[in-house]
Every structure is written in C-alpha cells, then in structure tokens.
Amino acid sequence: MALILTPAVSPRHAAPVSRPGCDTVLALPALGDPLSTARDRPPEEAAEDTSFARGLRVFLTIADRGEIRADELGTLLDTPLSTVYRYLRTLTEFGFIERMEGGYRLGQRLHLTGGATVSSEELIRHADPVLRMLVAEAGETAVIARRVGLTAVCLHEVQSPHALRVTCEPGTATPLVAGALAKVLLANAPDDIQDEALGGTTHAGALRRDLATVLAEGVARSESELYSGTVIIAVPILRDDGIVAAIGLIAPAERATLPWRARATRLLAEGAAAITGALRE
C-alpha cells in the first residue's frame, strides 16, 4: 500500500506515470477490457524464471483458477507436463495443494475459510464493476482482498481519480493484525487461525476485543495502521459457508470526514451484498 501524488488521469486513457521517490502508478484497465488475473506470463518471459518462480506460478495459477488439471497448467504456463508434475508433487507434499478427481486445487492447509472454492479470478470478475461503482460514488480507491494463510492479499483495486490517493498493488500481502481489510478477514476466520495470528503480538487482548466488535458490527475501520495518514473502511463478503473476501475503501485521512465515513460504510455494505449475490448466480 502506498500514498501516491501524481496528476489525475482518466482511467480509460491512463498511461503509466512515475515520479521520483514514488511508486509507479499503473494504468487501470479500460472498462470492458479483459482483466489479467492469473499470474500467467508470456512464454518468452517465463523462460527467464528461476525454478522457484516457476513453482510459484504453478501455485498462483491454481489459486486463481480454483481447480485445474495438470495438462491445462502445462498449456497455460507453456511448461512441459513432466515439469508441471514435479512442482505439483512438491506443493502436494507440503499441503499447499491437493489432488482431486478433476485436477488440483488449494490444499486444506490454505482452505482455512468458507468460500475458499471461489477462485481469485471469479472474485475479481464479479468485484470489478462494484469497485468501480464505489470509486465513482465515494471518490476513493476501492480494494478487494482475501486471506491466504496468515496474510491478507490484495487481489484487485480500482484507484481514486484524485491526484493524491492511496493505492494497494494487487499481490500485496499484509499481516492479518493490521488494517481494516485484514481485521475483517481475521474476525471471520476460524479460532485456530485467530490464535496463530495473534500469538506473536504484544496486544492480543486489545486485538481480540477489536475483532469481536468487527464481527458484531460487520465493518472494520482503521486509521494510520498500515500507512500514516490513511483511513481504511472494510466489510466482509459472506456466503452461507463463510467469508470469501473483504472489500474496502482507502482514503487520505484529510478527506475521510465523518460524513464520508458514514457514506462509505453504507456503500460498502451494498457493494458486498451485490458481489455475494453475483457469486450465487
């Protein structure tokens, strides 16, 4: 997550902008353009990967697709089937994936919340129009994140049109104990995950009280926890089998007035309901 100061540009015609000392601001996909969600890369780039990177690409592609066959992985990643099976065997031994009748999916070690059968790709596809609506209505960056192990991983963002804005690059992972998005995910996680996440903190008691409040109210709010001068408001995306992900709005504190926070909370609840409904269809 970063605080970016750069000239505002139209999302449809945005081009990468870089400023000394700042992160590069990447162009948003034009409305209607296909979203690149799997961590697939062109074969000419993949050929330069290290063995670790190739194994990670196998794992992330499984996470994005939800369930996939070995031959499909080989085709998507332009990798020999024998090599794919070698990575699959290692990932299976460590419990990161498991073999099913129809292929491979994330293993029980990572299936720690309900709704884990929803792929990241499906989440992004359904969330993107909702995030765009949130940005249009609230004027700030909208994000969707899900829990992987003991981290909150940003899956997708739609950036604020303001020159001064907060961004959360997809793939960014943060601890489950910091920030509203992470706390929504942790509050709805199983008890053993909460125990493990809080085990290394010095203020576990206060955090447990925070999580209980988040669970009761259905919303989390944080200020300057991940980046000084920023406010995050987040709510869960829930199905009957548990939490799937969290969506949030991230704003510079100077623009996060009390009326804005109240409006953002309402908009997020409506957005989460819309995504949940889309996942049922």
Q: Do 141 and 8 have their domain in common?
A: yes
Contacts (Cβ under 8 Å, ≥6 apart) of 52: none
Q: Do 11 and 87 have their domain in common?
A: no
Q: Do 125 and 196 have their domain in common?
A: yes
131 vs 199: CA distance, rounded Å: 33
Q: Do 238 and 276 have their domain in common?
A: yes
- In this prediction, residue 169 has a pLDDT band, given cuts at 50, 70 and 90, of confident
Q: Do 85 and 168 have their domain in common?
A: no
Supply the CATH number for residue 65's domain: 1.10.10.10
- In this prediction, residue 37 has a pLDDT band, given cuts at 50, 70 and 90, of very low
Q: Is the pLDDT of residue 93 over 50?
A: yes
For residue 168, the enclosing domain spans 2-15+117-280
For residues 6 and 17, the answer to whether their CB atoms sit within 8 Å is yes
For residues 8 and 25, the answer to whether their CB atoms sit within 8 Å is no
Domain count, the chain: 2
Q: Do 164 and 267 have their domain in common?
A: yes
What letter does residue 30 receive in the DSSP assignment? P
Phi, psi of 275 (to 5 degrees): -70, -45
Supply the CATH number for residue 256's domain: 3.30.450.40
Q: Do 178 and 97 have their domain in common?
A: no
240 is a domain residue: yes
267 vs 271: CA distance, rounded Å: 6
127 is a domain residue: yes
For residues 64 and 53, the answer to whether their CB atoms sit within 8 Å is no
Q: Do 94 and 121 have their domain in common?
A: no
What letter does residue 143 receive in the DSSP assignment? E
Q: Provide the pLDDT for residue 16.
A: 35
27 is a domain residue: no
Q: Do 84 and 153 have their domain in common?
A: no
For residues 181 and 231, the answer to whether their CB atoms sit within 8 Å is no
88 is a domain residue: yes
Span 218-273, pLDDT tens digits: 999 999 887 789 999 999 998 887 889 999 999 999 999 999 999 999 999 999 99
The per-residue pLDDT of the chain, averaged, comes to 78
68 is a domain residue: yes
% pLDDT > 70, the chain: 78
Q: What are the start-end ranges of the H helices in the chain?
A: 43-46, 51-65, 70-77, 81-93, 120-138, 180-187, 191-198, 204-217, 258-280
Domain boundary, last residue among 75, 106, 137: 106
- For residue 32, the one-letter residue type is G
Q: In 3D, which of 220, 225, 223, 195 has the Cα closest to residue 210?
A: 220
What's the predicted TM-score (pTM) here? Answer: 0.64
Q: Provide the pLDDT for residue 18.
A: 33
List the single range of 31-40, 42-51, 132-141, 259-268 with lowest mean pLDDT. 31-40
24 is a domain residue: no
Q: Do 130 and 96 have their domain in common?
A: no
Residue 100 bridge partners (DSSP):
103
Question: Across residues 171-178, what is the average pLDDT?
Answer: 84
43 is a domain residue: no
Q: Do 162 and 264 have their domain in common?
A: yes
Q: Do 10 and 78 have their domain in common?
A: no
36 is a domain residue: no
